[in-house]
Amino acid sequence: MSPLKNANITAIFMDKTYQKYKELRHKIADLDNILAVLGWDQEVYMPIDGAGFRAQQIASLSGILHDMCTSQEYSDLLESLKENQSLNFIEKRNIAESWRILDKNRKLSRAFMERQSRIHSEAYQSWIKARQENSFAVFAPKLKEVVDLQREKAELFGYVVSPYDALLDDYEPGLTTDIVEKVFIDVKKNLTDFFSKIKGRPHPDYAFFDNHFDKAKQLELCRELATDMGYDWNAGRLDLSEHPFTTSFNAKDARITTRVNEKDLRESIWGTIHEAGHALYEQGLPVSEYGLPSGSPISLGIHESQSRLWENNVGKSSTYIKTYWNQFQKYFPEAFGNVSDMQFFRGLNTVKPDLIRINSDEVTYHFHILLRFEIEKNLIEGKTEVKDLEEIWNTNIKEYLDLDVPSPKLGVLQDIHWSHGSFGYFPTYSLGSFYAAQFYHFAEKAIPDLQKELDAKNFKPLLQWLRENIHQHGHTYSSEEICKRITGEGLNYKYFNNYLDKKYAEVYQI
């Protein structure tokens, strides 16, 4: 047989093998997304008495999914494709990333995955009850189970320095505790210095936010703003939940939730813009790559960059407020009838520490993340125990933000993440803000007259830029690689620092 024929036969064989890999990835994605539907329903519509069986259902399906993700068939497919040079660049990246994930998954048994799913479902219901009763003691026993499980998971994954490294890698591949600590040394210094510059200046008036804002009107405005951003309602929906979130089952079904406070519309409006930013990323992933790394988000840090870019760089800018000022006044004339757009902009961006993370301004927000990072690290490393968490939280909030915590609901019980076992997630929020500032800086350079487009409510150029530079690539590139492709360098905190200087010069007139 000639070398040419031999090469052709090998290529055909490899093409069929890759096709089998894709088919198996589709099945894995199907089951994973069925689990996601159950999770979405649990947080949005499920009656409270269904919690026990739902935990059982999720645990059973998680076990089946784990078997598929670690099967010999799947492992053999990846093994045969791993060193194949006939694959194109994207295909090679898919195999490499799939192999990395397989290697991690094989370290966890089916029994562990089922136990994890059950504990997380039960912990979520416990967190809901604890918030209703405003008692950390209600949640603490289940949270201890979650923490013990995460410690066990870290040991199974393995690590070089800190067990927390193993958990960070789940959300931001390659991220380590040491890297996060170094980032927060800079953040703490720079934000403390920045905060001191404006601390002595008079706060802008924001009393007009202390008003009554009809729930139905808030939701109507939320839908209007998300529509203008480019959110596809044929591929998504907006619902209410205890904690705002985005969930995606595929690029044609990316759903968002929000939380409405009739005493302050900021929670729903900018919460919706934030979640719609996440959903736009999901809706922009290539449909043809469903189930493959190339059809999946890069990381939580990049995902958060998309929501933060829309929420803060766009949604809390003076340009955006001026553009939508007529709508705000139309929907809520009693609250804003005698307020100017610039008064609203300055009041919205006032730097004032808040007990609630998602309600915090862009400066003090990162002290919230620092607090959670330190607590998580110490919990996983065994330096802190769950029983002491409420006291530690309250003490550190006083140190970082000079605030007294009046109740657990406004303190240690405010976030849903720990009930889901999402340890290592919080640092990506700060990384996302820093990526967002860097990306937006280069979007302004790349898009002629971007501010004029935003003035005209034309968000298509910005969305298209994000689609072309980030969304369409899925997880073909790492966070670092995608940042370098867009900006010519890795993540650089200076862009966030420059963004704050420019914005808050407007807010505080300095």
CA nearest 427: which of 215, 182, 229, 198? 182
Residue whose tokens read 């001191």: 196
Q: Closest Cα to residue 310, out of 435, 423, 205?
A: 435
Cβ contacts of residue 327 below 8 Å, gap of 6+?
221, 224
Side chain identity at residue 81, one-letter code: L
Helix (H) or strand (E) holding 254: strand 253-258
Q: Angle, nearest 10°, between helix axes 177-199 and 494-508? A: 20
- How far apart are the C-alpha atoms of 77 and 73, rounded to whole Å? 6
Q: Residue 75 is encoded by which pair of tokens?
A: 């492992």
One-letter identity of residue 433:
S
C-alpha span between 292 and 98 (Å, rounded): 8
Residue with tokens 């088919």: 23
Q: What is the rounded CA–CA span in Å between residue 65 and residue 110?
A: 9
Instruction: Based on the residue annotation, tell me whether 275 is a catalytic residue of this protein.
Output: yes
What are 279's two structure tokens? 């959903």
Position 481, amino acid:
E
| Burial zone of 490 (CB within 10 Å; 0-12 exposed, 13-18 middle, 19+ buried) | exposed
For residues 340 and 297, what is the distance between their CA atoms, to the nearest angstrom? Answer: 40
Tell me which of 91, 114, 275, 304 is the catalytic residue.
275
- The Cα 498–Cα 311 span in angstroms is 18
- Residue pair 142/126 in contact by the 8 Å Cβ criterion: yes
370 contacts 387 by C-beta, under 8 angstroms: no
Residues that are catalytic: 275
